[in-house]
Amino acid sequence: MLNPGTIFMALKATIYKAQIQLSDIDHHVYCDHSVTLARHPSETDERLLVRLLAFTLNAPPGQDEPPLEFAKDMWEPDEPSLWQKDATGRILHWIEVGQPDEKRLLRTSARVDRITAYSFTSSTGIWWKGLETRLTRLRNLTIWQIPADQSQALSALAQRAMQLQVTVQDAAIWVGDGTRSVEVSPKRLWGTQESGA
């Protein structure tokens, strides 16, 4: 029997496909990804592209590790934007796109190996300042800020079928589609994990 959430997603979602060529010079990772994303009716181009960027920056480069998968956060409140699970179903990496609240971060941190959040709106500084002192004990948490003007520029690359080149060098990221290129410079607000940008 199908989960009602699956039926809703199938009826209401818009499907996007992306071919991504990643050249991460900083971490010596060079690989290609072919992904399919289900876009919720209320999701913007900006959020969709930030979600795709989060996937690209965190997906394992080979078959030796469990895959990073798009979850159903906008349909299922108990799921993140992306997650990586081992063969037993244990969550290795939980990735949020947006500004999760304190309770969600604390609850999730206690049951996953790593948790990463990518915030991309102009209110990121205010959001993080309100949470920072209460989350400093979370050693498996990393928070990234993508400047709002850069995430908005990324939205211009959104198409139902995308072919993107992503280059990471000197902590800067260039995302291009062959005709346009956007530079993204994520700022780490919290955490010490190397992956993610």
Q: What's the domain range around 123?
A: 44-157+184-190
Query: Which amino acid, 68?
Result: L
21 assigned to some structural domain: no
24 assigned to some structural domain: no
Which residues, in sequence order, are bridge partners of residue 15? 38
State the Cα–Cα distance between residues 197 and 26, nearest whole angstrom.
9
34 assigned to some structural domain: no
pTM for the structure as a whole: 0.91
175 assigned to some structural domain: no
The total domain count for the chain is: 1
State the Cα–Cα distance between residues 110 and 185, nearest whole angstrom.
29
* Burial class, 128, CB count within 10 angstroms (exposed 0-12 / middle 13-18 / buried 19+): middle
Query: Which amino acid, 98?
Result: G
Q: What is the CATH number of the domain that holds 127?
A: 3.10.640.10
113 assigned to some structural domain: yes
pLDDT in tens, the chain (197 residues): 445 444 444 458 999 999 999 999 999 999 999 999 999 999 999 999 999 999 999 999 888 999 999 999 999 999 999 999 999 999 999 999 999 999 999 999 999 999 999 999 999 999 999 999 999 899 999 999 999 999 999 999 999 999 999 999 998 999 999 999 999 999 999 997 554 66
The candidate with the shortest Cα–Cα distance to 16, out of 168, 166, 157, 148, is 157
11 assigned to some structural domain: no
5 assigned to some structural domain: no
